[in-house]
Amino acid sequence: MTNIFTYSPANLQRAATIISQGGLVAFPTETVYGLGASIYNATAVANIFAVKGRPTFNPLISHIAEHDMLFELAETDSRAVELAKHFWPGPLTFVVRRKDLNSSLDLVCAGLKTMSIRMPNHPIALELIKSAGVPIAAPSANRSQSISPTTARHVFESLGSKVNMILDGGACKVGVESTILDLTTPQTVMLRAGGLAKETLENFLGEKILLSQGNPNMPSSPGQMLKHYAPSRPMRINVRPEEKKPEEFYIGFATMDGNINLSPSGDLTEAAANLFAFMHLAEDQSEYPSIAMAPIPETGLGLAINDRIRRASYRK
């Protein structure tokens, strides 16, 4: 018996009721599964941090379903408006200045005067937000620093019955979290590489985007901790096939084949979609005490993939 419920109109309404009553619902987005609560219910938001074991100085992304919600929550400029028109719904998060400094939002924002906001490109996520009638705070639905979930089963294996309901909408298509842009400064800064490529955003804006790793001790957005997205066993990256050790489960890419291959054709979109699912699979191989991964190009979605695997393999 699990708390996984296959999507149906009735189950979605049940999930919306849980959100409105202060509970936690794991739900699918195009990137990964999120662990959701109303942004206006500080107790429910605190429960997100408790269930995940996430430090409260690490802000959460608030998910919206209408562009008007952005204008209600945040100070915006023409850049934010045009990016939202073009890329929302989609795997793009804005860090923008809070309009509402109500203390009930302090925990979602980790006490910052900025807010992380996005509109997910998934029909179930959008319908859930609309039915709940509130923006939904939702980090990835897994224990803090462990591998992000791209299926309902991944959520259950990580969090179990700590979640009131897991709404199963199938596997996530993008497979890595959203790209995060800081829009509080004149020049756009990428705080986290993600499901929307840096080159695509630069072409749209007509300018270079700065890259920032942020401060892992005082993050201004999610995804800046040094250790994140990590399997329970040691993991090496940028390992060529001839460098693989016998005890390592090898995740290949393109012509560098292994026990499993992120994309035999070298397609970075396919590789991103498979990344966390394959890391879960590697973690389940009890006969291999460690994991190795082939080099991934640092272009397009490869930027996001490399960000995730660097944090996944981080050792003090």
Q: Report the C-alpha gap between 303 and 198 in whole angstroms.
A: 8
Res. 228: pLDDT tops 80 = no
Res. 14: pLDDT tops 90 = yes
pLDDT-derived band of residue 1, with 50, 70 and 90 as boundaries? low
Q: Report the C-alpha gap between 237 and 159 in whole angstroms.
A: 27
Res. 100: pLDDT tops 90 = no
4-211 homologous superfamily: DHBP synthase (3.90.870.10)
Strand bridging mode 34-38 / 25-27: antiparallel
pTM: 0.92
So where are the chain's domains? 4-211, 235-312
Q: Report the C-alpha gap between 30 and 175 in whole angstroms.
A: 7
Res. 256: pLDDT tops 70 = yes
- Could you report the per-residue pLDDT of 49-80, keeping only the tens digit for each? 999 999 888 999 999 999 999 999 999 999 99
- The Cβ of residue 9 has, within 10 Å, a number of other Cβ atoms equal to 9
Which two three-digit tokens encode residue 184?
């509080």
Q: Report the C-alpha gap between 131 and 84 in whole angstroms.
A: 22
| Vertex 78 angle, CA 60 and 196, to 5° | 50
